[in-house]
Chain A
Amino acid sequence: MTVADSQTRFMFHRMGSLTTAAREKAWARVPEADALKARAVRARDRVLTDLSAYLDRLEEAARGNGVTVMRAAGAQEANRQIIETLRKLGATETLRNHHPLLDEIKLDDAAKANAVRLTPLHLGDFLAQLTGEHSGHPIWPVGHLTVEAISEALQEKWRVPKTYDPDHLTSTVRMRLRRLLLRADAAVLGVNFAVADGGVFALLDNDGHNASLVSLVRHGILILSVDQIVADMADLETLTRVFALSAWGRSRPAYITHLQKATPQGVDGPRTLHLILVDNRRSEIIDQGFGEALRCIHCGACHTTCPVYQQIGGAGYAHSPYTGPIGTVLNPLLLTPELGEPQAYLCDGAGLCAATCPLNIDFSRLHLEHRQRLVNAGRAGDDRRFFALWRRFLGMKRLFIPYWRRATRPPDEVR
């Protein structure tokens, strides 16, 4: 773990300030905010406390809708199923959407190793790949990069004219991605939520890349993290609202795509639909008593308030797609002990993450639980260099002043 350079810290701080302001403004306009959050927590817990039953219900509903269903215990199996399915379908040009699960299973690396042409359609993911940057945030993967850095990368790779106009740069990339979109024959789609009752899959975004993919490709491969199942359409609506408010500061995403079955000839949409249900240690996480962490809907709200995240940036989380406070809770459970265990200490106890989380995840309790287990296993405190660095970091009081000010500001001023 290292403290990021001053430019990167500034960009993470800027991203945090802008998105926090938008989120707080949006939630302030919701009169029943507390009730909505409570409904969202109930919707998540309902499924997480009886996951295998909901998984069976979803699988049955999806099969009933003509969807081919597979289950993958881990990342390797999921990637193998995706690659094999693409080969069987004879797909030559495949696009993927923006979803942390696809990064978690390292789909891009698997596709490259198997000579499968797979391109991220999302602008942020595409720029992250182009610049070789690690995704820094679940919603804005390259939100920490300056327009100059992006412009220079595009000049170098595509020899486009130099410009620092974000609109111009976006349009340049858009034209290339659009051409790819019009000739793609398959899409790998990470699913935001899946409804057990009726087998509906929901994809959320503001740019329209998910709906465009669903409309244009012949074959859709849906990848679902098993913890992202919801019981019914009412719970889906609740969680969609909460996600939009906390991720983007909007009452609803610009595009909500609901997909239930493959479509017949003459109608837009994929002719074949395949679903891969990825567990990748989720069941173990629940069994170990960390199920509360799986309430997370990856809205990124906790990131933007976390003092530690804003100083070390997304690259400080062992290259996991789960960065920020949720990364410090999930990574010890998902990564190898060498990479994951130190992450439980990437917390200064400010508590702003828990205060911001719309799903009321008790981060402090989960951190303490992790640390307690490490102490019990005799694996805590053996990395003297790590703790020396950590003490130095906590000693840099100047870095924390803006967060203390924010945390102690009266609620009226926040609004």
Chain B
Amino acid sequence: MNETLVNVFLHHLEALGATWELADNPIAARLTLLHYLNALNRKDILAWEPEALSLPGLPEALADIGLTLTPTHRRNLNPELLVGVTSADAGLADTGSLVLHLAQGQSWLPALVTLHHVALLPASRLFPDMTTWRRAWMATRPGDLASSIIITGPSSADDIELHPHRGMFGPGRQHVILFYD
């Protein structure tokens, strides 16, 4: 993995007001996530299906410390679910963006309706920019442009006197755990 790419991505994330941690492997990433969620002191966490999170053994490890991942079901959203955990289909280094496709088990809601979004990103899914990522995507899925969101930093609204307010509809806090896979 290109270290420069990782550094550029993390630099842009920081500039956007997001926070990040870098893990050496998926097991270290799992531990990092457990620490992070434990510190937030939330019991129920809105999340993607465990198999889509790219971290094997995560539900069991979370259960050991009394945390549960709640799958997203439209209209059954508990407003108390303040933390959302997702993976990402791609990270774009030039802007610190995360790409999330719409797919089975990969709801956008943990990255949208929560106040705090934690994203797990394998380093192999890091691309220099949008063009490179799209080329790679089209090479494997020609013709399918995919419905996707590209998230660049936390949600913000500045409609009142242009005062920046973090977390309008999307989360006001974004934390990325980037790990080598």
Chain A interface residue count, Cβ-Cβ cutoff 8 angstroms: 61
Selected contact of B143 from candidates A124, A167, A181, A198, CB within 8 Å:
A198
Expressed in whole angstroms, the Cα–Cα distance for A93 and B17 within the complex equals: 35
Q: Is the interface of B mostly helix, strand, loop or mixed?
A: loop
The CA of A261 and the CA of B147, in the complex, are separated in Å by 7
B150 touches A255 (CB 8 A): yes
Q: How far is B109's CA from A181's CA once the two chains are assembled, in angstroms?
A: 12
In the complex, how many angstroms separate the beta carbon of A41 from the nearest chain B beta carbon?
A: 19
**Any chain B CB within 8 A of the CB of A257?**
yes
Chain B residues packing against A (C-beta within 8 Å) = 72, 74-75, 77, 79, 94-95, 97, 102-104, 107-109, 112-113, 130-131, 134, 143, 145-163, 165, 167-170
Per-residue 0/1 for A133-163: is the Cβ within 8 Å of any B Cβ (1 yes, 0 no)? 0000000111101110010000000000000
Stretch at the interface among A201-209, A327-335, A361-369: A201-209
Scoring A15, A127, A146, A167 by chain B CB atoms within 10 A of each residue's CB, the highest score goes to A167
Give a binary string over A174-211; 1 marks a CB under 8 Å from any B CB, 0 the rest: 10011001110000000000010010100000111101
A-B residue pair count with CB separations less than 8 angstroms: 154
A170 — which chain B residues lie within 8 A by C-beta?
157, 159-160, 165, 168
| Interface-located stretch among A42-50, A52-60, A105-113, A264-272 | A264-272
A84 within 8 A of partner (CB): no
> Which A residues are within 8 Å of any B CB, using their own CB?
11, 14-15, 18-19, 121-124, 127, 140-143, 145-147, 150, 166-167, 169-171, 174, 177-178, 181-183, 195, 198, 200, 206-209, 211-212, 214-216, 233-234, 237, 250-261, 263, 266-269
Residues A257 and B149 in contact, CB atoms below 8 Å apart: yes
Contact status B170-A167, CB under 8 Å: no
A121→B179 CA distance, assembly (Å): 36
Known pairs A182-B77, A212-B170; A206 contacts B149 (CB<8 A): no
* Chain B residue at smallest Cβ distance from A215: B108
Complex Cα distance, B47 from A305, in Å, reads 45
Complex-state Cα separation, A211 to B113, whole angstroms: 10
In Å, the complex CA distance between A11 and B75 comes to: 40
B52 to chain A minimum Cβ distance, whole angstroms, is 12
Q: Which residues of A have CB within 8 Å of B104?
A: 266-267
CB distance from A125 to the nearest CB of B (A): 9
Instruction: For A269, give its contact among B147, B154, B155 (CB under 8 Å).
Output: B147
Q: Is the CB of B157 within 8 A of A207?
A: yes
CB nearest to B157 among chain A residues: A207
CB within 8 Å for A253 and B152 given contacts A216-B74, A268-B72: yes
* Given contact pairs A215-B109, A216-B74, A237-B131, A258 touches B159 in the complex (Cβ within 8 A): no
In the complex, residue of chain B having the shortest beta-carbon distance to the beta carbon of A174: B168
**Are the CB atoms of A166 and B145 closer together than 8 Å?**
no
| 26 chain-A/chain-B pairs, Cβ below 8 angstroms | A19-B162, A123-B160, A141-B159, A143-B161, A143-B162, A145-B161, A169-B160, A170-B157, A170-B160, A178-B169, A183-B75, A200-B145, A208-B168, A209-B168, A209-B169, A212-B113, A212-B170, A214-B108, A216-B109, A254-B156, A256-B149, A258-B145, A263-B102, A266-B104, A267-B104, A268-B102
